[in-house]
């Protein structure tokens, strides 16, 4: 296993288990404790984990925003399942906006490539994923935020304020019935707010681990969401609370085969 692959796996294990010890990581991955400690030190310096006594824990607090690479490996099977269900909402001839994010990237990968839609995004990476021969893809323009690899700022806001979309695939850092949809960054929040305003139909795509969390800035309420596509880890109590707010909820089960 290459060092980059090993470190990617370490982040995945620490995130999935809400913390791991050096000893358990060394045993599971088959490397020495010294190697694992060096990996943890590098990952902590890059902001992908936090060191704890004898191991590491995920980076989580209301003002913190995980790096794209950290989120990319988190709940990947659930994100792929969500994407498979979400693309069923795309209709022929739709203008579809793909919000920047790791779950929306999975939606982009699963989207039809027959030229039946026009794709718009504030993510250069999603634009490259969607940019095959038979698709029309438009970028908002703007300033790149390295933390999320999204385009934000006045140029992006001007574009968003003038365009209309049939369908929006929207991501969120945290989802709460009372607080709504939240994100740590104000520029990101403003862009998301405009996306929601300009879309005829809003499909929130997020795994169930984000339910009940709150982040710094609210950019939309639950009443702005038409459909919430999540994984089968959502609690029945939470499903009921969303449905009470007239948000349709559908779940997708990861393929474990």
| pLDDT score for 256 | 56
Say yes or no to pLDDT of 8 above 80.
yes
For the chain, give every residue range classified as CATH 3.40.50.1360: 75-252
Q: How many CB atoms lie within 10 A of CB 151?
A: 23
pLDDT, position 166: 98
- Coil/strand/helix, residue 180: strand
Dig out the tokens for 238 from the structure: 């939470």
Q: Which range among 150-154, 163-167, 170-174, 251-255 shows the weakest confidence by mean pLDDT?
A: 251-255
CA 130 vs. chain centroid, Å, equals 17
- The whole-model pTM stands at 0.74
CB of 176 closer than 8 Å to CB of 145: no
- CATH number for the region 3-59 comes to 1.10.10.10
Q: Does pLDDT of 15 surpass 80?
A: no
Architecture of domain 75-252: 3-Layer(aba) Sandwich (3.40)
CA distance 237 to 10: 32
């Amino acid at each position: 296993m290459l060092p980059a692959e090993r470190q990617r796996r370490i982040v995945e294990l620490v995130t999935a288990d809400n913390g791991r010890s050096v000893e358990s990581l060394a045993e599971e991955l088959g490397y020495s404790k010294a190697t694992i400690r060096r990996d943890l030190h590098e990952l902590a310096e890059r902001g992908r984990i936090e060191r704890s006594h004898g191991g590491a824990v995920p980076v989580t607090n209301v003002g913190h925003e995980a790096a794209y690479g950290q989120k990319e490996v988190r709940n990947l099977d659930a994100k792929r399942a969500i994407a498979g269900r979400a693309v069923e909402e795309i209709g022929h001839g739709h203008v579809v906006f793909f919000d920047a994010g790791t779950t929306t990237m999975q939606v982009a990968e699963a989207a039809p490539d027959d030229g039946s839609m026009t794709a718009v995004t504030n993510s250069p990476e999603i634009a490259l994923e969607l940019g095959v021969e038979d698709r029309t893809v438009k970028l908002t323009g703007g300033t790149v935020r390295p933390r999320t690899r999204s385009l934000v700022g006045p140029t992006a806001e001007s574009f968003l304020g003038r365009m209309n979309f049939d369908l929006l695939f929207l991501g969120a850092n945290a989802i709460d019935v009372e607080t709504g949809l939240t994100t740590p960054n104000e520029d990101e929040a403003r862009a998301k707010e405009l996306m929601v305003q300009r879309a005829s139909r809003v499909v929130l795509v997020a795994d169930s681990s984000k339910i009940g969390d709150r982040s710094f800035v609210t950019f939309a309420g639950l009443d702005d969401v038409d459909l919430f596509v999540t994984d089968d880890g959502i609690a029945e109590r939470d499903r009921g609370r969303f449905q009470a707010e007239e948000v349709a909820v559908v779940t997708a089960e990861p393929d474990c085969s």
